Chain A
Amino acid sequence: MKIRRLEIENYRQYRSLTLDLRDRSDVVIIVGSNGTGKTNLLNALIWCLYGREDYYAHQMDSSPLVNQKAVEEAGEGDLLTVSVSVEIAFNNGAEARILRSQEFRKGGGAAGPPEQKVLLLEDVNKGYKRVTNADHWIERWIPSRLEPYCLFDGERLDNFFRHAEAKKAEDAILQIAQIDLLKRLKEHLEKVAGDLYSRSAKESGGQDRGLAKKLDDDRAELEGLQKKIADEAKSVERYEDAVRKLDGKMGNISEITAAIKRRKALEDQLEQHKQNVSEAWHDLLQWAASTAPAALSYRALEGLAGTIARARDQREIPPRVAPAELVRMLEESACICTAPLKEGSPERTAIEQLLSRYERVNELGEAFLDLEPGLNIATAQVRASAQTSKALMRRIDDWEHGQESADEELSALKSRLAGHEDVEVQQTQSALNKAKEALETATRELDYKKYRARELREAMARTEREIEKLDAVADKAKELQRQARFGRECLRVAESIYKQLTNQVRERVAVSLQDHFQRMIWKHESIQSVSIDERYNVSVKSRHGFEILPDLAAGERECLALAFSLALGEISGYELPMVIDTPMGRLNPDVQGYVAGVLAKTTEDLEGGHNHQLIMLMTETEYNPDVARILSGRHPRVFKIVFDEGEAASGLVESGALAVAK
């Protein structure tokens, strides 16, 4: 099945657009810058087929679905029609045209519900005929359950196994194989059997009535609980989706977030450097203030020191022994060392001479003696200060250098971050945190309800066994018990079939997954197996038997997700076109070329590439010359989305495979 033509009128960026793929359409590349409308081409397609419009649903009042330029040009109260039409060609030669349209009144929002019609061309001679039940026809030929695996956002791929985990893999497999219908049958049989047991107990009367009431009460609670479980599961899914989207957004701006964090760190660092520089200068000023008097008067201090030294040389200053002490020693005729100081002894004579010198010590000598300690302090301070000032200057230089470097880096970072609002990042982060919290709460609630449902089921099974044990008196009661037992038996059979089928499908998906994956990756000899266990955990084992799924590189992970999509498509038996928005958005440029090659080769390998179609919506960065060269081997048709600012609308221009990349 292939898309042959897409026509869009007044849908978001598109006033009027036609994508004609009748000539050649195996590989189609649509290149556009961010914001020109790549994703909206995918959205238009999904809206046309399934009527789903996430963004529209949130902003009904502002009708963002309608091209804003068309709204501006329309008169108040005028009707505007938004329409998307897709033409598809089936492998048997039949063609179908699916059209969805909706009218909007300027200033009044939607003028009515969307309308969908399907025109089918099975015989060229008979022409198109309208299909009576469009929804049903689409569900039959292009089932909505396949949409997530053929029309998807490539940025989601990288996160596929991370977010989807086992539950998503299980849902995907069961939906694709339509085994979920069996699940509903199981639930129905369970209800029927329970009903029959309850009715048989009621017919018996006596004690059995109590059991019947208990069974009914438990079942009523279980039914209520199942409804709540379904609601809660939807909430969990919604929150998971929100977390995934926000996570993706955070991923896109993770570099900006990191830069903002770095900027904050640098600002703190710069502040610290400034403070350190200021403190170092303060210390230097303190040093200068205390050193200045001695340093600036140092020559004078040297002069004073020289004068005192000369005075000492000329014995104008006596040694430092108090004269009163000398007098006391002479009077007591005893030295301080207790030796006698006899008259005429050399010791006594020496002391007498010393004392006489003291008598000669004049006022000036005393002044010198008084000044000497202060002089020593002042000169010592100047001598020591050379080292101190050097150390302080070194400190200042170091901090100023650090400050300069931080300042330079900060300036560069600020210009890099220009235009990115911190508040936007914070809001996204905060929204992500809230969504995660909500997801956690909803998951907890869901787990609790599931636990309670299990408890109720067990209680009901016990009650049913008790009813079985009681002798049913009335024939009707006996008959009802017999029917209930039969119901239970049917349930057991259904469960067994369900288990067998799910195992078979799971194993087939796993085999196909392994096959596709091993063909895609370059290190295929290092992969021993890819499997999906009973709990639907996808596992990739190395040839040494180690689990390596968490260690796969981004490119390998994307290949695994693509292989999973292909495997699901194969098991479903449908050959739907694959439309991928930004297939390599999350990959490093060095891996983009490789994945491009994988995509090109995959479509070629599948059925010889004749019945498969791959449409990729790529940014200019993704469709770089390297990727273009690799894809050129598949002779793709390449279109470029051109945004006309005057018209506020986007259009498509077809160009050569390599021309756009250049």
Chain B
Amino acid sequence: MTARKQRTRLAFGEKHLESYRRLGNALGKISNTEQFMIALSWGFKHGTRVEEFKRSDTGPRTEYLQPEHLAIIAAIHLAETGRPDALCSAEDGFDIAEQYAEGGILLLETAMDEPGDFAKMLAGEVKSEVDGLA
């Protein structure tokens, strides 16, 4: 068994590069990392995970992930597997993250095509989520 090669970036799905660009513009030119994290959390929240998809060469570099991003990825990894020891493999966590991000961007793409202000819809959703937690 050979050790998995450590990835240097989290991949955007090849088909959705344009949607990531639109997402970034809609939310005020946010970074690749932020775009990825929003897609990931959106996919996780709505339980949409795409396991098979073609990865692009574009996406946030792992070295730029902040501790809180890594914690979110790990938390989703744990929630998905239910096994704490799964956290020993960061690469597996990244796989899951990419798959949820792919599911998330798919949903967001549909939302962006719908009439109305997408950014305001997203802000409203986040706000009600936060209010619900309180």
Contacts and interface: CB of A to CB of B under 8 A. Distances in A.
Interface of A is mostly: helix
A285 B38 contact: no
B133 A298 contact: yes
A297 B78 contact: no
A293 B30 CA distance: 13
A291 B126 CA distance: 7
A290 B122 CA distance: 12
Interface string A299-325: 111011001000100000000000000
B27 A288 contact: yes
B72 A377 contact: no
A289 interface: yes
B42 to A, nearest CB: 6
Given A292-B41, A307-B84, A374-B66, A300 B78 contact: yes
A298 B71 CA distance: 11
B41 A293 contact: yes
B45 to A, nearest CB: 4
Nearest to A307: B84
Given A296-B41, A301-B72, A288 B126 contact: yes
Given A289-B30, A375-B71, A377-B68, A300 B79 contact: yes
B11 interface: no
A381 B66 CA distance: 14
B102 to A, nearest CB: 16
B88 interface: yes
Interface in A364-388: 364, 367-368, 370-371, 373-375, 377-378, 381-383, 385-386
A293 B127 contact: no
A259 interface: no
A1 B103 CA distance: 102
A288 B67 contact: no
B127 A393 contact: yes
Interface residues of A, number: 42
Contact of A296 (B67, B79, B88, B126): B126
Q: How large is the interface on B (under 10, 10 to 19, 20 to 34, 35 or more residues)?
A: 35 or more
Contacts of A300: 44, 72, 75-76, 78-79
A281 B117 CA distance: 12
A162 B40 CA distance: 78
A289 B28 contact: yes
Contact of B87 (A281, A290, A364): A364
A245 interface: no
A299 B130 CA distance: 11
Nearest to B134: A386
Contacts of B84: 307, 311, 364, 368
A70 interface: no
Contact of B69 (A284, A287, A370, A374): A374
Given A285-B123, A374-B66, A304 B75 contact: yes
Contacts of B17: none
Interface of B: 27-28, 30, 34, 37-38, 40-42, 44-45, 66-72, 74-76, 78-79, 84-85, 87-88, 119-120, 122-123, 126-127, 129-131, 133-134
15 contacts: A285-B122, A288-B127, A292-B122, A296-B41, A297-B75, A307-B78, A367-B88, A371-B71, A373-B67, A374-B69, A375-B74, A377-B71, A378-B68, A382-B130, A386-B133
